[in-house]
Structure 1
Amino acid sequence: MTEKTETAYQKYNLEKESAQKVFDRFDLGAIEKISQFEQGMINDVYSINGKYVLKINSAHPNLPKLSNEAAVYEALADSSVPVPKLYGYDENRKLLGYPYILMEQIQGETLKEIWRNLNDEQRMISALETGKILGTIHNSKPEQVRIASADFEPNLKSSIHSRIGEIGTMLRSSNVLDEHVIKKIETYFQESSCFDVEIQPSLLHGNYVFANIIAEGGTIRGIIDWEWVSFGHDEEELAVTLYRGPTGIVGGMDEKLLASFKDGYLSAHQISDTFNERYLSYALLYFLKILPNTPAWTHRPDKQKEYIDATNNLINQIIL
């Protein structure tokens, strides 16, 4: 993973003395070196002694993101899904002023960083393996992973109606789309028959992209960054992952690689025969939920453009 540059987003400045208090709490010895990762766009994430990762929830301190992430690492520690070892987490803010989580630093680089250096065969294998891991994640049920999560609605249409109402409110308050477009979006999701199904809850990673997958020597070593984990519809996360591409860049993978990813997924977890009817709709829901936040991404104009363009493309395909 890459150390943070001067232009990257930062809200917290970790002092060695403060970090040592965290280490003392978990009996991890003396701190010799601290460096900050250029990881994600929101949280401050630090490498300590090259062996540990300290993530500080300075962006959303009132959300139980890190306790959920900790619960995942505990629940999946002995599973076939590779995750970091958890050393501890704290929501009370006494030591650092914010919630934090301390975990193992998995050796290797993100799949995003090494992707361009892989040959065609290595890419196909990586796509297959990451697809299989996502399918395995989706096999996990609420009784296996105890996280703080919104109540699950088994009736998909009811869930969609509730969510599109909330999304409409956010879109209007942010002024990112014209009113007539918002109304057409609401009408589509309220009236489409493709959501007339009953669903079962599956564990969802929340941001399953190559930037959150650590690899070494062509082997997947760990799936990280579970702070947005939840229980929901397996099809939704699969749809978003396929549409964005596991690279995290829309159009970043060709059809053969996406097919390999889906093959890997289906080898571990089955989905409905009507998945394709909801594929683009789920992708649009994802981007509509994120779109109101994009005006604040002045530190990442590339991401602003990517999300705005992807949203408009989906609206043109489905709605207009």
Structure 2
Amino acid sequence: MDDQPFDMDALADELHDLVPEFSGLHAIEKFNTGQSNPTYRVEADSGRYVLRAKPPGPLLKSAHQVDREYRVMKALADNDVPVPKVFGLSQEHSVIGRMYFVMELVEGHIFWDPALPEMTKAERAAVYDGMNDVLARLHSVDPEAAGLGDFGRPGNYFARQIRRWSEQYLASKTEELPDIDRLMAWLADNVPEDKGRASIVHGDFRLDNMIFAGHGEQVLALIDWELSTLGHPLADLSYQCMQWRLPHASGFRGLGGLDRGDLGIPSEADYVARYCERSGIEIDNWSFCLAFSFFRLAAILQGVYKRSLDGNASNPERAREIGKAVPLLAAMANDIIAGKA
């Protein structure tokens, strides 16, 4: 379990070597949000920081690569994408027994409900436009120029991702779900032609992975880069657009069933169109992209659920609740394939 106290003296010494001008460690407290990599607030004489670590215990292959998070944020700091400043990366033999990195604590607001009930209609529109702008800017970064040309394998992105997440799902499978089996087979048989486009993709681009100033007038930081790689930009766009389709009255916090026009939130079609204007990217095979994103999320949540059963989840109670969502995601993806949604 991830509730063991750290050796504060040893950690203070390590942070002094890892973080420039670090001094006077006072406290470290785990954030209660997040399901994958445990994240902590660090209080010190020299300032306030965030420590993000691998979880304890056995881990799935290629998961929880905090070193990749560190690398991509460090590279994007010199580009037109808002990311926290990173300070240092430990290795697996760190004093806490696992790899971690340290970054600045960005003071701002994280909005958990996409309906943004605390905001005015104009403020909601600004938040969604800000997210749209950040996504287009991210996909406009030249990976080679940013030093990330080897951050992912070129070509065949969707085929590789379908293979990866199918393997991850099967490795964490806990029951028979025919809808998932049907979805995996359809995706493998319907991979669109690879046109060679490779952008830096965030992998988990959504509202609550952004820190905003004030009432959403500016995105201060895009966080949680664990799943980032080089890939097709429509994977990020379709992943975010799942929120328009997922139910609101559930743990998904989607926009399904809400009057988006009355709230000042753009329709999915308008959001996608604005992204295309900004990025210059054309939409192709949208139904495939959506079905892929639903499957990928289902595979991720199945892994979270399996870790909860194994006693390694960052938030066990929430993880068990998440496990119930996997069949719903699979059913929604199959409806998209069948033209019912």
Q: Does 1:312 align with 2:331?
A: yes
1:23–1:40 CA distance, 2 compared to 1 (3 A): same
Counterpart of 1:116, as a letter, is: P
Counterpart of 2:220, as a letter, is: R
Query: C-alpha separation between the residues in 2 aligned to 1:73 and 1:182?
Result: 33
Give matches, 1:38-49, under 5 Å. Answer: 38-49=32-43
Counterpart of 2:112, as a letter, is: K
Counterpart of 1:72, as a letter, is: V
Structure 2 residue corresponding to 1:198, chosen from 170, 177, 195: 195
Residue in structure 2 matched with residue 31 of structure 1 by the alignment: 25
Residue in structure 2 matched with residue 74 of structure 1 by the alignment: 74
Q: Does 1:240 align with 2:244?
A: no
Cα deviation for residue 120 of structure 1 reads 1.6
Cα deviation for residue 169 of structure 1 reads 5.2
SS in 2 for 1:51: strand
> Contact conserved, 2:166 with 2:299, CA < 8 A, in 1?
no
Q: Does 1:303 align with 2:313?
A: no
> Contact conserved, 2:288 with 2:337, CA < 8 A, in 1?
no
Query: C-alpha separation between the residues in 1 aligned to 2:208 and 2:283?
Result: 30
**Structure 1 stretches of at least 4 aligned residues deviating more than 6 Å after TM superposition:** none
SS in 1 for 2:321: helix
Cα deviation for residue 168 of structure 1 reads 4.8
Structure 2 residue corresponding to 1:185, chosen from 166, 183, 186: 183
More deviation, 95-104/181-190:
181-190
1:89–1:258 CA distance, 2 compared to 1 (3 A): farther
1:62–1:172 CA distance, 2 compared to 1 (3 A): closer
Residue deviations 1:62-105 (CA, integer Å, cap 9, x gap) = 75722212222221213221111111111242332111111100
Residue in structure 2 matched with residue 271 of structure 1 by the alignment: 281
Query: C-alpha separation between the residues in 1 aligned to 2:27 and 2:185?
Result: 55
Cα deviation for residue 285 of structure 1 reads 3.2
Residue in structure 2 matched with residue 249 of structure 1 by the alignment: 253
Counterpart of 2:122, as a letter, is: E
SS in 2 for 1:18: helix
Counterpart of 2:239, as a letter, is: V
Residue in structure 1 matched with residue 90 of structure 2 by the alignment: 90
More deviation, 128-137/248-257:
248-257
Q: Does 1:137 align with 2:165?
A: no
1:122–1:232 CA distance, 2 compared to 1 (3 A): same
Residue deviations 1:156-200 (CA, integer Å, cap 9, x gap) = 6xx42x554555555556254445x455435423443x7134231
More deviation, 70-79/292-301:
292-301
Structure 2 residue corresponding to 1:217, chosen from 214, 221, 232: 214
More deviation, 109-118/134-143:
109-118
Give me the TM-score of the superposition, normalised by structure 1: 0.81
Q: For structure 1, which runs of at least 5 residues remain unmatched after alignment?
A: 1-8
1:148–1:91 CA distance, 2 compared to 1 (3 A): farther
More deviation, 210-219/181-190:
181-190
Query: C-alpha separation between the residues in 2 aligned to 1:283 and 1:62?
Result: 20
Structure that is richer in helix per residue: 1
Query: C-alpha separation between the residues in 2 aligned to 1:73 and 1:165?
Result: 26
Counterpart of 1:35, as a letter, is: E
Query: C-alpha separation between the residues in 2 aligned to 1:291 and 1:29?
Result: 38
1:79–1:188 CA distance, 2 compared to 1 (3 A): same
